[in-house]
A and B are shown apart, each in its own frame.
Chain A
């Protein structure tokens, strides 16, 4: 934007027409087009899954019986144990991860020295950067051996409970898989909860402390009530992750298609995602459609869980006292 050296501008030089609008229109079109492309992609994901899954629902019983991966089961007889295994592993992972995440988030936001807080946050985020296949490898080669005495002890001393009955090493059971899932979903839950904890109004905290509360009482009176909806939505985000995680389960769990609560027994459960990865290479014809139908169910469940989580976050953003 150098100033023109010649100050005498003759009228002919001034272009009174408005500048060309082509650039603006092209750019606006590109931007809107990209936005629409995202919506279309999501629609296409749903559409293609529905179209490919349809034969699994509409085929006759004889055709379904011919699919080798079903092992003579009906479609629903095949899917329901998988759904059960998926929910079981994810719920256990969530039960393990949420209390830990609340603890870590509290540590970073309210307990650790301020100067350290950011670094500690990075360290937890490092877990999120590790590829799932490496988690699977770690689970199979380190965790299974390390956790073995604990499982042995649980089975020996608390074996009268069905959860801990008849443990058989190696620990290729749903408990180990859920432990790895818990580690994998920790970073996202912790990061979300940490953000909410940091938004707690300072005045609430200081008021509580000024009344003579201990640090824990302050957390209970000011931080936790404020963060309750945030904790719920963070848990649901974590649940969505755990439901769809494939590799850790595939590499650790020895699969079975039963519905029970023998958490330490191998060969009892299987999840939808791991089952797809396991059977897809050898499936053909209607078998592929059956697997895609199970994938469609996983898609619908995670979609609903994520929508619920986002809805809670959105409602909270509107009504929270933080702004």
Chain B
């Protein structure tokens, strides 16, 4: 945009004035903050930002006229919006890392919660990691094939009116509240096995409902990127359509598809509400996803938080750190896959 920036007309203020006013405003802001009592990084910054917006607008209004003053006001507010959003992101990550690392250790990752009561340094997250991996794995087993084939249907077979309906419903399905997916899975299994049946599978079905539309969306985007010339070349060689899809289209898009699938796994691995009402929590490690309650990381974090007390709170933060690490690793792996395994010649 800089190339398009309007030329200086008339008496514009010099460029350094923005920084000078910003520095001055922050100084005044923190000054007020200090004289008022307790120093606070956010409070002073907040005051300084308000003073800056008013000062730069007033200055520009006097020296540059109304139009430029409005322009400066808008710029200041737009930048402020971005800075404001950095506050939750930075504070959240800082909190998770600082509070989480108090209890995060190999022992924490490697023990479950059997026999852990009251204020104790004991207890860990092993059973919850096992449960999360099993349930998310099952959900992926259900939703990746369905999502993949639906995307193939939408892009390669172009089903006309039905395809348009599916596209629309997939869009709507991405908006299903996660707790509603949990209620559905509960009602489904209560109807089949009776209300007493508890297993990780119920949670996996709920997660699959949430995950499938995300998989469809991302795979669809990737298949659309495959150039039509590749398909036509395959047809011209007499390759049947299904082989063209498997060996040409999917082969070309495999990196993007893997990325999309990994990101959708990262999305559902942190889902809490549906697992809370279907799978619940236990203290011991359960390796059988088809029978009995299971512990999962998000529900573990919630239950430790809800339990209250210092030790449980530290476990909640350490669990949150474990969860975030898993999510970030999945995201990172997804980006690496898309960078290094994309077919040559495609950006």
Chain A interface (Cβ < 8 Å from any Cβ of B): 1, 19, 21, 23-24, 26-28, 30-35, 37-39, 41-42, 44-45, 48-49, 51-52, 99-100, 102-104, 106-108, 110-114, 120, 123-124, 126-127, 129-138, 140-143, 146, 149, 183, 186, 205-206, 209, 212-217, 219, 237, 240-241, 243-247, 250-251, 273, 276-277, 280-281, 288, 291-292, 295, 298-299, 302-303, 305-307, 309-310
Near A by CB (< 8 A), chain B positions 119-149 give: 145-149
Complex interface bits, B162-177 against A, C-beta within 8 A gives 1, otherwise 0: 1101101111111111
Near A by CB (< 8 A), chain B positions 40-86 give: 40, 42-43, 67-68, 70-71, 73-75, 77-82, 84-86
Bound Cα distance A38, B6 (Å): 52
Contact A206-B4, Cβ < 8 Å, known A214-B67, A243-B177: yes
B281 to chain A, nearest CB (A): 10
**Looking at the complex, which one of A107, A237, A288 makes contact with B82 (CB distance below 8 Å)?**
A107
A249 to chain B, nearest CB (A): 10
**Contacting pair B149 A31 (CB below 8 A):** yes
Q: Is B150 an interface residue (CB 8 A)?
A: yes
A28 to chain B, nearest CB (A): 6
Q: Is B152 an interface residue (CB 8 A)?
A: yes
Bound Cα distance A291, B186 (Å): 12
Bound Cα distance A280, B206 (Å): 16
Stretch at the interface among B21-29, B103-111, B323-331, B337-345: B323-331
Q: Which 8 residue pairs of A and B lie closest in terms of their CB atoms, listed nearest first?
A: A244-B177, A131-B270, A103-B81, A34-B149, A27-B242, A306-B175, A31-B153, A214-B71
Interface of B is mostly: helix
Bound Cα distance A191, B112 (Å): 39
Q: Chain B residues with Cβ under 8 A from A41's Cβ?
A: 173, 209, 212
Q: Is B181 an interface residue (CB 8 A)?
A: yes
A305 to chain B, nearest CB (A): 7
Bound Cα distance A140, B316 (Å): 12
Q: Chain B residues with Cβ under 8 A from A38's Cβ?
A: 146, 150, 166, 169-170, 173, 212-213, 216
Q: Chain B residues with Cβ under 8 A from A112's Cβ?
A: 82
**Contacting pair A134 B92 (CB below 8 A):** yes
Bound Cα distance A129, B171 (Å): 19
